[in-house]
């Protein structure tokens, strides 16, 4: 099969598109012929050796695969050959991928493979963040940084389904338009963040902030939180890990809440399963629809990752063998 291979940690352009041996499913595993592989910001960090988890080299990046099961390992009983599934696994940037039966979800009838990939990390993260970590309530105000990206567009739509008023924050007019189309109630830029959020909330501030950016955006958020607010730490796309002025959390009485979706899925698989069922249900009911920016050839993985790492992408991107 063809796959993207990272021989050693380093620049994205050193990734190789090459022929490798077909994988074989082991006990409790399935072999999936990839119809779409999701692209995520952490994929680029992993290739460069900058992520929390550092795999043994060489390795194939990618952790989301949707496609058709073509072989079963010993003991698999939930699925059959020919079933379409989506999974959270390793080695996703390839024509074939092996995944644990336990991490696979059957696709609703007619569901697009790229949409399915978006549901795993991007939508899974946003859903977990707003549901379990923020416990967001109807009528609360949600501010979303990086609102035109994959997790940002997910946070907008999920926030609306859960009854929040959504303020989307974007870096360009084009991205602001995307956020509006995703259902945001208000769309603003990063300049004068504190004053604009305060004005839009009648001086109260934000009940929940979804921060995947860090840097100056976080610094502003730390000053416009409402009492009992929850400032969600998703990531640091700006490249700057900010320092928290803890005196503000004391005076304003808000919480800073970490969100690490991957660890949570392993720690509480039952809640993870329930979340995914809810997301697929919303999708089937037409309440949500991932924004797929594009589907690109597997060979273009390095170019696509570069765009994602430099915040040039909007919505979700998929690689298609």
Per-residue pLDDT of the chain (321 residues; tens, 9 = 90+): 999 999 999 999 999 999 999 999 999 999 999 999 999 988 999 999 998 889 999 999 999 999 999 999 999 999 999 999 999 999 999 999 999 999 999 999 889 999 999 999 999 999 999 999 999 999 999 999 999 999 999 999 999 999 999 999 999 999 999 999 999 999 999 999 999 999 999 999 999 999 999 999 999 999 999 999 999 999 998 889 999 999 999 999 999 999 999 999 999 999 999 999 999 999 999 999 999 999 999 999 999 999 988 877 788 999 999
pTM of the predicted protein model: 0.91
The secondary element (H helix, E strand) that includes residue 2 is strand 2-5
Dihedral over Cα of 56, 59, 62, 68: its sign: negative
d(CA 316, CA 114): 8
Rounded CA gap, 9 and 310, in Å?
A: 18
Domains and CATH numbers, the chain: 2-107+291-320 (3.90.180.10), 123-261 (3.40.50.720)
- Tell me the DSSP string of 22-78: PP---TTEEEEEEEEEEE-HHHHHHHTT-SSS-PPSSB----EEEEEEEEE-TT--S
């Amino acid at each position: 099969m063809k796959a993207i291979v990272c021989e050693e940690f380093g620049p994205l352009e050193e990734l190789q598109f090459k022929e490798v041996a077909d994988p074989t499913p082991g006990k409790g595993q399935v072999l999936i012929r990839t119809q779409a592989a999701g692209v995520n910001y952490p994929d680029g960090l992993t290739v460069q050796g900058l992520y929390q988890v550092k795999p043994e080299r060489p390795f194939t990046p990618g952790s989301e695969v949707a496609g058709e099961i073509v072989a079963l390992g010993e003991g698999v009983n939930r699925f059959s050959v020919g079933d379409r599934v989506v999974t959270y696994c390793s080695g996703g940037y390839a024509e074939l991928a092996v995944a644990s039966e336990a991490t696979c979800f059957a696709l609703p009838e007619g569901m697009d493979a790229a949409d399915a990939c978006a549901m795993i990390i991007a939508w899974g993260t946003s859903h977990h963040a707003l549901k379990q970590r923020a416990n967001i309530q109807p009528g609360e105000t949600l501010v979303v940084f990086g609102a035109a990206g994959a997790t940002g567009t997910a946070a907008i739509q999920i926030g609306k389904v859960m009854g929040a008023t959504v303020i989307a924050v974007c870096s360009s007019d084009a991205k602001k338009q995307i956020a509006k189309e995703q259902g945001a109630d208000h769309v603003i830029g990063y300049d004068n963040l504190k004053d604009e959020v305060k004005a839009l909330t009648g001086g109260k501030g934000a009940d929940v902030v979804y921060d995947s950016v860090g840097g100056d955006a976080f610094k502003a958020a730390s000053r416009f939180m409402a009492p009992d607010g929850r400032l969600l730490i998703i990531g640091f796309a700006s490249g700057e890990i900010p320092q928290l002025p803890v005196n503000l959390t004391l005076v304003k009485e808000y919480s800073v809440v970490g969100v690490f979706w991957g660890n949570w899925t392993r720690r509480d698989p039952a809640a993870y399963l329930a979340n995914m069922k809810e997301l697929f249900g919303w999708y089937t009911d037409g309440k949500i629809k991932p924004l797929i920016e594009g589907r690109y050839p597997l060979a273009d993985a390095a170019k696509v990752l570069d765009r994602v790492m430099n915040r040039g992408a909007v919505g979700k991107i998929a690689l298609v063998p």
